[in-house]
Amino acid sequence: MAWERFASPSGDYDLSHLDPFLLTVSPQDGSAGYRVLVSFGHHTFTREVRAGDEEGLKHAVDGDVRCFCAERHRCSLRLPAIVRASGRGRAYFSQGRNFLLVEDMPGAKGPYAVFFNIGRARAKAFDANLFVVSAYLKPNLPPRRKLASITLVTLIGKTVRGEPITRPKPRMKK
């Protein structure tokens, strides 16, 4: 799905940076890389609707009505680069079923949390689908060192091979 411009009462916002792209992630052992189709949902540039929100700020996708958020849009401009760089980094287990990437944003109040789901591809053109469900500043996110993690390439490899992905057990404090 290609994103159109969003026309709001305060101006037009380009969303094309959130168009899907193909990411190739290679294991460090030199084995064949994985082709991952990356796509983005509208929660990356919208927030929940609140009383008093202007009608012109509402944005709907498949019946999910949200409110355009200039701050989330501004942060989303970095999303493709964050996802591309994550191919060499770690993904963190969220409290729910999805995973997250964490990025520090200069001058922001807290880290930028990028929530995503991953699944095996049904098409032969790529190996996996990575769908960024939501992304926003999350000041109360625990420090990364306290979050269970897995390398993104390992997560993708296990997904493609249909292997179970298990959350590491917390380390016992001595």
Predicted pLDDT of residue 141: 92
Instruction: State the Cα torsion 138-77-133-33 to the nearest 10°.
Output: -110
pLDDT tens track for 79-109: 999 999 998 899 999 988 899 999 988 888 8
Residue 5's pLDDT band, with cuts at 50, 70 and 90, is confident
Nearest one of 158, 143, 135, 10 to 77, comparing CA atoms? 135
pLDDT tens track for 113-150: 999 999 999 888 999 999 999 999 999 999 998 999 99
pLDDT tens track for 53-70: 988 899 989 999 999 999
What pTM was computed for the model?
Answer: 0.91
Q: Which residues pair with 134 in a beta bridge?
A: 43, 115
